[in-house]
Amino acid sequence: SAKWVKAMEIVKDFEIKCSTPISRLRQVADGMIVEMHAGLASEGGSKLKMLVTYVDSLPTGKEKGLFYALDLGGTNFRVLRLQLGGKGHGIINQQFVEVSIPPSLMTGDSSDALFDFIVAKLAKFIAQEGSDFKPTPDRQRELGFTFSFPVVQTSIASGTLLKWTKGFSINEAVGRDVVAELTKAMERHGLDMRVSALVNDTVGTLAGGRFANNDVVAAVILGTGSNAAYVERASAIPKWHGPLPKSGEMVINMEWGNFKSAHLPLSEYDLELDAESLNPGDQIYEKVMSGMYLGEIVRRVLSWLAQEAAFFGDTVPPKLKVPFILGTPAVSAMHQDTSPDLKMVANHMKDIFEISNTSLKMRKVIVHICSIVAARGARLSAAGVLSIMRKMGRDTVKEGEKHRTVIAMDGGLYEHYTEYRKCLENCLHELLGTEVFKTIVLELSRDGSGIGAAILAASHSKYL
- Torsion angle in degrees (nearest 10) through CA of 212, 216, 218, 221: -40
CB of 143 to Mg ion, least distance (A): 17
Distance CA 252, CA 309 (A): 47
CB of 219 to ligand ADP, least distance (A): 12
- For the chain, the distance separating the N- and C-terminal CA atoms, rounded to the nearest angstrom, is 74
From the number of C-beta atoms within 10 Å of its C-beta (0-12, 13-18, 19+), residue 410 rates as buried
CB of 237 to ligand ADP, least distance (A): 27
Distance CA 83, CA 14 (A): 50
- Which of the choices ligand ADP, Mg ion, none does residue 245 contact, using the CB cut-off of 5 to 8 A by kind? none
Closer to ligand ADP by CB, 292 or 388: give it. 292
CB of 378 to ligand ADP, least distance (A): 11
Closer to Mg ion by CB, 223 or 291: give it. 223
CA-based nearest residue to 124, from 222, 53, 191, 216? 191
**DSSP-based three-state secondary structure for 234:** helix
Closer to Mg ion by CB, 106 or 392: give it. 106
Handedness of CA 302, 308, 309, 312 (dihedral sign): positive
- Which of the choices ligand ADP, Mg ion, none does residue 329 contact, using the CB cut-off of 5 to 8 A by kind? ligand ADP
CB of 384 to ligand ADP, least distance (A): 16
428 CB contacts (<8 Å, ≥6 apart)? 382, 385, 386, 437, 440, 442
Closer to ligand ADP by CB, 10 or 72: give it. 72
Q: How many CB atoms lie within 10 A of CB 453?
A: 33
- Which of the choices Mg ion, ligand ADP, none does residue 328 contact, using the CB cut-off of 5 to 8 A by kind? ligand ADP
| Residue of minimal Cβ distance to ligand ADP | 74
CB of 329 to ligand ADP, least distance (A): 4
- Which of the choices Mg ion, ligand ADP, none does residue 39 contact, using the CB cut-off of 5 to 8 A by kind? none
CB of 297 to ligand ADP, least distance (A): 12
Closer to ligand ADP by CB, 328 or 381: give it. 328
Closer to ligand ADP by CB, 228 or 237: give it. 228
- Which of the choices Mg ion, ligand ADP, none does residue 224 contact, using the CB cut-off of 5 to 8 A by kind? ligand ADP
Phi and psi, residue 193, nearest 5°: -145, 155
- Which of the choices ligand ADP, Mg ion, none does residue 59 contact, using the CB cut-off of 5 to 8 A by kind? none
Distance CA 146, CA 181 (A): 14
Percentages (nearest 5) of helix, strand, coil residues in the chain:
45, 20, 35
Closer to ligand ADP by CB, 277 or 461: give it. 277
CB of 82 to ligand ADP, least distance (A): 18
CB of 298 to ligand ADP, least distance (A): 12
Phi and psi, residue 442, nearest 5°: -95, 115
Closer to Mg ion by CB, 75 or 158: give it. 75
CA-based nearest residue to 170, from 107, 221, 253? 107
- Which of the choices Mg ion, ligand ADP, none does residue 62 contact, using the CB cut-off of 5 to 8 A by kind? none
Handedness of CA 310, 12, 271, 170 (dihedral sign): positive
Closer to ligand ADP by CB, 265 or 291: give it. 291
- Residues near ligand ADP (CB under 6 A) are 73-76, 223-225, 291-292, 327-329, 332, 411-413, 416-417
- Which of the choices Mg ion, ligand ADP, none does residue 160 contact, using the CB cut-off of 5 to 8 A by kind? none
- Which of the choices ligand ADP, Mg ion, none does residue 416 contact, using the CB cut-off of 5 to 8 A by kind? ligand ADP
- Which of the choices ligand ADP, Mg ion, none does residue 6 contact, using the CB cut-off of 5 to 8 A by kind? none
Q: How many CB atoms lie within 10 A of CB 416?
A: 16
CB 428 within 8 A of CB 382: yes
Phi and psi, residue 452, nearest 5°: -60, -35
Closer to Mg ion by CB, 14 or 77: give it. 77
Closer to ligand ADP by CB, 30 or 98: give it. 98
Which three-class secondary structure string do you get for 393-423?
A: CCCCCCCCCCCCEEEEEECHHHHHCHHHHHH
CB of 225 to Mg ion, least distance (A): 9
- Residues near Mg ion (CB under 5 A) are 201, 223
CB of 108 to ligand ADP, least distance (A): 18
Distance CA 414, CA 420 (A): 7
